[in-house]
Amino acid sequence: MSSTPLSLTLANLLLRPTAGSRLDPDRVFDRIVAKAGQADGDEVFVEDFQFLLREWAKDDDLTPVGWQAAQAHVRRHLTNRARVRRLIAANPAIEREPIEKPVFVVGLPRTATTLTHGVLSLSDEHRSPLLWELLASDLYASARQRRKAITSARRFVGGVNLFAPRFRDIHPMTAEGPEECTFVLPHLLVPLSQARIPAYRAWHYERDFVPDYRHLKQVYQVLQHGRPRRRWVLKSPLHTEHLGALRTVFPDATIVWTHRDPATVVASFCSLVEQGMTGTLSPLDPHRLGADWLELLSRSVRLGMAARAAIPREALVDVPYAWLGSDPASGAPKLYDAVGARWTDADAARLPEITARPKGSRPHRYDLSRYGLTRADVDSAFADYNALRAEVDRG
């Protein structure tokens, strides 16, 4: 059961006078663009975010904090995009940086994607993007510039933990830890975890995501430029529905797909989404949340399964939950071997710091029934995936 933190209640009271700007989202958007800047030829990219902000503003249950979160989401993506495009215009060699044989961790959320990503990030031969790099992607030519970006990322994490304190028990974040591509990819399902935006949902279903993955590649080219080249290890559960677009842009990628019982996944993920939505929507209907995310997650995995057929067998690694969820000490070497990487004594020595629960965190408890769902509902929605998962578990 979610309760509203006092900090969130006070923030909504303080921000209430600003909530009226929802009535004119285009004016708000114009101010964001004026500050973020816009690269030549990026009109469509910018217009897509204007559409998103317009639709986001239409959710009648959006709280003042929720409206601020909508603006921050749009501002961050537009600012990052404009910065990346300006850097490439000034340094054309950035776009010639090879992103060779990257590893992408995919799968349903709550299937140990974060743990798998963390384990693969242990190697000195690998490189994962850090949260502060994703929030403000730049060349970081000076130590002062890096310190400023890290401080800003720490404030971001602090804000999440202040307004949704249970979030850190479920998905802890640190400014200087590896994080997922979700913070960079422009048009994923993230807004639907903060508001009800049916027009955006329908638009998302029809979108060609190849341009989004080209932007993602440019971000990693910026972060790699002028630095030692190592194999990128990347991650997001939201890649699962876009494997075709991903492999169009990263044709030599290795896909690491993590697996777990969808009944557990859906309950756990709905609980995670609820923690965020408690701050952005009031009232919040858990049953509607459950119905929405059962459909979104099952659709994602159906699209992912359809795309599997085009992935060469040597480029696809299936990881059963037991590999790392039950016995990481024996599962980690198998994972490294499967992606063609060396597992070393140094990696093994660092493994406990990746697998340990954060100090002071509480157990995460969740129940499908809170979200109006039953195991039969989930099993029916994921019938084909459960057949695949059974094969993976047997293998």
List the domain boundaries for the chain: 101-394
What pLDDT, on the 0 to 100 scale, is given for residue 146?
94
- Going from the first residue of the chain to its last (395 residues), give the mean pLDDT of each consecutive group of 10, the final group possibly shorter: 77 92 97 93 95 97 96 97 96 97 97 96 97 96 92 94 82 92 96 97 97 98 96 98 98 98 97 91 96 98 96 97 89 96 96 81 89 98 97 89
Determine contact, residues 379/386, Cβ cutoff 8 Å.
yes
- Phi/psi region, residue 101 (left: phi>0; alpha: psi -120 to 50; beta: rest), is left
With b for 16 or more beta-carbon neighbours within 10 A and e for fewer, the 285-322 pattern comes to: ebeebbbbbbebbbebbbebbebeeebeeeebbbbbbe
What pLDDT, on the 0 to 100 scale, is given for residue 232?
98
For residue 259, list its beta bridge partners. 320
Cα 357 from Cα 389, distance rounded (Å): 26
Cα 94 from Cα 271, distance rounded (Å): 40
Cα 256 from Cα 253, distance rounded (Å): 10
With a CB cutoff of 8 Å and minimum separation 6, the contacts of 195 are 56, 59, 62, 66, 70, 280, 281
What pLDDT, on the 0 to 100 scale, is given for residue 7?
87
Cα 281 from Cα 193, distance rounded (Å): 10
Cis peptide before 283 (omega within 30 of 0): yes
Long-range contacts of 299-304 (CB under 8 A, 24+ apart): 299/241, 300/108, 300/237, 300/238, 300/240, 300/241, 301/108, 301/240, 301/241, 301/262, 301/382, 301/385, 302/384, 302/385, 303/240, 303/241, 303/242, 303/243, 304/106, 304/240, 304/241, 304/243, 304/257
What pLDDT, on the 0 to 100 scale, is given for residue 1?
47
Strand stretches in the chain, DSSP E: 103-107, 126-127, 231-235, 254-259, 316-320
Q: Which fold has domain 101-394?
A: Rossmann fold (3.40.50)
Supply the DSSP symbol for 239: G
| DSSP-based helix, strand, coil % in the chain, nearest 5 | 65, 5, 30
